[in-house]
Structure 1
Amino acid sequence: MRTHTGPEDWRAANRAMWDERVPIHLASDYYDQDGFRRDRDVIRDFEAAEVGDVTGKSLLHLQCHIGQDTLSWAHRGAARVVGLDFSEPAIEAARELAAEVGIGPDRATFLTADVYDAAQAVAASAAAPPAYDVVYTGLGALCWLPDIRRWAETAASLVAPGGFLYLAEFHPLTDVLDDESASRVAYDYFSRDAWVDESPGTYTDFSAPTVHNRRVEWQHTLGDVVSALAAAGLRLEFLHEHDMTMFQRFGSLARGDDGYFRLPADRPRVPLMYSLKATRPRP
């Protein structure tokens, strides 16, 4: 497993960046809080099909941000959902949203903790089960973590016997293609170095005035992610690669009628997202 390098202040910088962007995201069309209050479901169709029926199950959402995905799984029938994020403003927003859509603390709990400390945070909470039928991690989460093996060990420790971890992520190939056309390899797929950026704004509003702009990210190869989960004792059930993505990552992408972005039909396809399911065998 590769060792990643990066600045010592990565966690503090990323937390300050995310904390500042919570109110921007809450007010954005991208998250459409009013629409969520009405429909209460933002789970992507492929995720719903791959995770399956969650009725009566317990679900832990790691790096849950403002809680929309977490509460969507409750709306889809999960008996108990727990969302965890290191941003206190995000967790406060998630708790408020849960109250607004009528999902009480008996069904939804939100915890403030670093994802690497998730097991300790769950153990310390009287409201959170110790292990889960489903541990869920949504899009755009792993790039904020330098140690993918530690993440896998933490996530796996929270999967109940017979349960599974489900991960949907942007494909690491998208980190190496040129930004405009996505037609040539421009960056190192195996880079161990952190990517440090200080651009203002956020993905919901690139022109938003922001102060805490320093952010630190890492890329993780598909092999590293799968190998880390296997080493943590989980059994891979499937690994799916998808030719669509959620936003216009490259200038050449076009949005289809289904809302996803893809390369033009006359271009060879490449994977833009991936998803996987890994189970914890019963004793």
Structure 2
Amino acid sequence: MAENQDFLGEVAANYLHVNRQSWNGRVEAHLQSEFYDVAGFLAHKNSLKSIEQDLLGEVKGKEILHLQCHFGQDTLSLAHLGAVVTGVDLSDKAITAAQELAHQTQLQAEFICADIYELPQHLHQKFDVVFTSYGTIGWLPDLDKWAKVIAHFLKPNGRLVFVEFHAVVWMFDDSFQKVAYNYFNDGAIVETESGTYADRNATITQKYVMWNHPVSDVLNSLIRNGLDINSFDEYDYSPYDCFRETEEFETGKFRIKHLGNKIPMVYAIAATRKA
């Protein structure tokens, strides 16, 4: 047991390397998946869901920083809507795929490969909006550093639009039969996964490191770093079919079959940097 704990501790300490490899290993499967439907994206050029679109509002002409952008579909969706957009991701293979997708769509966007904690060393401008969504903060150990980066890049009165899977979801095992993890952040979670949320049958196996973050930690990190919370909303569905045991109860809205509307699955925060 001691050796196992030492091994897990070593993996967690090298989380950036481990997670970069993990996401690099997912990119090709994601590009080929029905979940991301690249062919459909090339036709319609908008992968944004209504939750974030409603919060973002009119984006034409706005300078937007998209954190943890994966291979850039949402980034390019913002460009298609008229924004001047920069996407950032830890995975070099995802950034390469994003640049290729930009070429295919003939949409303009800048893509940067970087750990977001180090982003101020690589990017020297301010933005009207910082946007980040769905499965992002769980890859980060320190939310105060995350919020500090957001505040750094926002212009005075600039807005954060943040949509994320609810912390309650991450308490459950994969089949949503039992509570398997702490709601609160009690340290790194090291897991090995076969397949991927976008394709359960993909022939890949990845080790990764994550952290659970209670909603109070999210809100307080933003408040401590000079952001005013304008709205906080919770949703009893996910717009993505990325969990096991789901059912589509309305078009584009998914719940865990045996839990229905009993748990929150997504939350959304809009916040403004103080002038």
Query: Same fold by TM-score, threshold 0.5 exceeded?
Result: yes
Which residue of structure 2 aligns with residue 55 of structure 1? 60
Which residue of structure 1 aligns with residue 154 of structure 2? 159
Q: Distance in 1 between matches of 2:176 and 2:91?
A: 34
Which residue of structure 2 aligns with residue 96 of structure 1? 100
Which residue of structure 2 aligns with residue 127 of structure 1? none
Distance 1:268 1:214, change over 3 A: closer
Which residue of structure 1 aligns with residue 40 of structure 2? 35
SS in 2 for 1:238: strand
- Stretches of structure 2 that go unaligned for 5 or more consecutive residues are 1-8
- The question of 1:227 aligning with 2:231 is answered no
Which residue of structure 2 aligns with residue 111 of structure 1? 112
Q: Distance in 2 between matches of 1:116 and 1:268?
A: 36
Per-residue deviation, residues 143-184 of structure 1 (Å, max 9, x unmatched): 1011111111011110111211111000001122454356x6
Aligned pairs for 1:167-178 within 5 A: 167-177=162-172
Which residue of structure 2 aligns with residue 192 of structure 1? 186
Q: Distance in 1 between matches of 2:261 and 2:235?
A: 13
Which residue of structure 1 aligns with residue 29 of structure 2? 24
Q: CA deviation at 1:82?
A: 0.2
Instruction: Specify the code of the residue in structure 1 equivalent to 2:85.
Output: V
Per-residue deviation, residues 184-219 of structure 1 (Å, max 9, x unmatched): 6443212412111112221122222225x1100100
- RMSD over aligned CA atoms reads 1.9
Q: CA deviation at 1:264?
A: 5.6
Aligned with 1:203 (options 197, 202, 208): 197
Per-residue deviation, residues 73-103 of structure 1 (Å, max 9, x unmatched): 111121x100011111111111111111111
Q: Distance in 1 between matches of 2:173 and 2:204?
A: 27
Q: Is the 8 A contact 1:263 1:269 kept in 2?
A: no
Question: Percent of aligned pairs with the same residue?
Answer: 38
Aligned with 1:269 (options 243, 259, 262): 262
TM-score by length of 2: 0.90
- Stretches of structure 1 that go unaligned for 5 or more consecutive residues are 124-129
Per-residue deviation, residues 99-151 of structure 1 (Å, max 9, x unmatched): 111113xxx1001111111222112xxxxxx0111100010011101111111
Q: Is the 8 A contact 1:116 1:150 kept in 2?
A: yes
Q: Is the 8 A contact 1:248 1:254 kept in 2?
A: no
Q: CA deviation at 1:247?
A: 2.2
Q: Distance in 2 between matches of 1:215 and 1:260?
A: 28
Q: Distance in 2 between matches of 1:267 and 1:231?
A: 35
- The question of 1:120 aligning with 2:121 is answered yes
What is the number of equivalent residue pairs in this alignment? Answer: 265
Instruction: Specify the code of the residue in structure 2 equivalent to 1:47.
Output: E
Q: Distance in 2 between matches of 1:141 and 1:181?
A: 21
Q: Distance in 1 between matches of 2:135 and 2:110?
A: 22
Q: Which is richer in helix? A: 2
TM-score by length of 1: 0.88
Q: Distance in 2 between matches of 1:256 and 1:267?
A: 9
Q: CA deviation at 1:266?
A: 8.8
Distance 1:93 1:186, change over 3 A: closer
Q: Which is richer in strand? A: 2
Instruction: Specify the code of the residue in structure 2 equivalent to 1:113.
Output: A
SS in 2 for 1:214: strand
